[in-house]
Chain A
Amino acid sequence: MATKKITNIAVLSAFSLVMMLTVRFPLFLPFLIYEPGDIPILIIAFLYGPLHALGATFLLSVLMAVFTGLGGPFGAFMHFLATGVFVGVAGYIYHINHTKKGAVIGLIMGSISMTAVMAGANILLNPIFYGIPREQVINMMLPGILPFNLTKAFLNSGITIFVYKRLANFLREKGLISAAESN
């Protein structure tokens, strides 16, 4: 792996954690907190592909658990699952279809798969982790969990689309990433 790639992914993962720590506000329910931490990881997915983005997500989740204690070990695991599915799907689709349209479709599909997987994971794992009965989790689904994940993913997708093209052009112009890495 090129040294440049290693440092870029590392610094962007740190950036993601910093965004999670500095910008946070609740959406819908007080314990569902929006944070823009997915944006730098999505940029990794677009620059380097889905596998690198998954690596970065793993890295980020470990750092989150080890370094900040945000949400404890379950929180880190759920974050890995959510962000992993999101950036994995978005990065994969953008990699097959390397156009602006591909990026938009990838982000939309990523958001939808993330919401679906998180719905399943919440129903399956919350009773095990917190002992919250399944019916209660399902009751929270429509007013909270589903719209929260979808809104969060769409907001982050929107910002990523807005930022990515300009950023990639700027970086290539300045020689901060090579032309082969993104187009």
Chain B
Amino acid sequence: MLKDITIGQYIARDSLVHSLDARIKIIITAVLIAALFMVDSFTGFGIFFLFLMVSILLSKLPVMRVIKGLKPILFLILLTLFIHVFLTGGGEVLWSWKFISIESNGVYTGFFMVTRIFLLIMFTSLLTLTTSPLKLTDGIEYILSPLKRFGVPASELSMMMTIALRFIPTLLEEADKIMKAQMARGADFESGNLIERAKSLVPLLVPLFISAFRRADELALAMESRCYRGGEGRTRLHEMKYHYTDFIALFIILCLSVLVSNF
């Protein structure tokens, strides 16, 4: 059951896109998301699609693997298309049967929205496919650090993110083990009404909570014995450095976004 969950999307490659600075890549993704919301024609989307193809080629990722990133939201895309095609009215009637009718505006808006969602998901998964979680965490810390002045503990947050990343596989495995152990004792997680299903979660949650706290306790001890003392004044082994390619990439994307969003 847990075998078909994909965790972690990063694929290591030696490519231009991979080597860009994580901070710049996060900013670029944000710019692209904003730009995609301003585009209001298929021409604009077409240009972004070409740009997406170029980025995928440059990143040397297997195209099929990138497309697989759509799987978790495939349902949402189909639902959006479905709602628009059948429920949005206006324009020419293309097909009708009894009370159902498909009208041209609905088809147009449906495909328009689906294209936008498709591009959004593709660009964001390109970010996570080409940036290792640790670099992303560091990037997020840098981006949040101006908020330190308002009391946001940016470095602690990124430390927590790193720890959480490390514990997801461990806890997944443990959840699986405890589920199987409870099932062997006759627990039933799959059937029954709502209340019964909620109740059946308790024998899964309590042992997991306890083991989670145990692990956190051991880790805190290990960190303290290595003199971890919070974010203030911590130095890093791998400093993040900007390269000129980062700024060129950012410049290209800003120009592209401003130009295309006026289409």
Chain A interface (Cβ < 8 Å from any Cβ of B): 1, 3-4, 6-15, 17-19, 21-23, 25, 27, 30-31, 36, 39-40, 43, 55-56, 58-60, 62-63, 65-73, 75, 128-133, 136, 151, 155, 158-159, 162-163, 166-167, 170-171, 176-177
Contacts and interface: CB of A to CB of B under 8 A. Distances in A.
Interface in B102-137: 109, 112-113, 116-117, 120-121, 124-125, 128, 133, 136
Contacts of B224: 3
A176 B220 CA distance: 11
Q: Which 5 A-B pairs have the closest CB atoms?
A: A10-B163, A131-B113, A10-B160, A14-B167, A14-B164
Contacts of A72: 72-73, 76, 117, 120-121, 124
A interface secondary structure, majority: helix
13 contacts: A1-B230, A11-B215, A11-B219, A14-B164, A19-B175, A22-B5, A55-B157, A63-B164, A67-B7, A67-B9, A68-B72, A130-B76, A131-B80
A60 B228 CA distance: 23
B173 to A, nearest CB: 9
* Contact size range, B: 35 or more
Interface in B132-184: 133, 136, 140, 153, 156-157, 159-168, 171-172, 175-176, 179
Given A22-B175, A58-B157, 8 more contacts: A3-B220, A11-B164, A18-B168, A69-B121, A72-B72, A72-B117, A132-B80, A132-B83
Nearest to A175: B217
Nearest to A158: B198
Nearest to A128: B37
Interface in B2-24: 2, 5-9
Contacts of B65: none
A73 B153 contact: no
Contacts of B5: 21-22, 68
Given A25-B197, A69-B128, A131-B84, A15 B202 contact: no
B79 interface: yes
Interface of B: 1-2, 5-9, 33, 37, 69, 72-73, 75-76, 79-80, 83-84, 87-88, 109, 112-113, 116-117, 120-121, 124-125, 128, 133, 136, 140, 153, 156-157, 159-168, 171-172, 175-176, 179, 189, 194, 197-198, 201-202, 204-206, 208-210, 212-217, 219-220, 223-224, 228-230
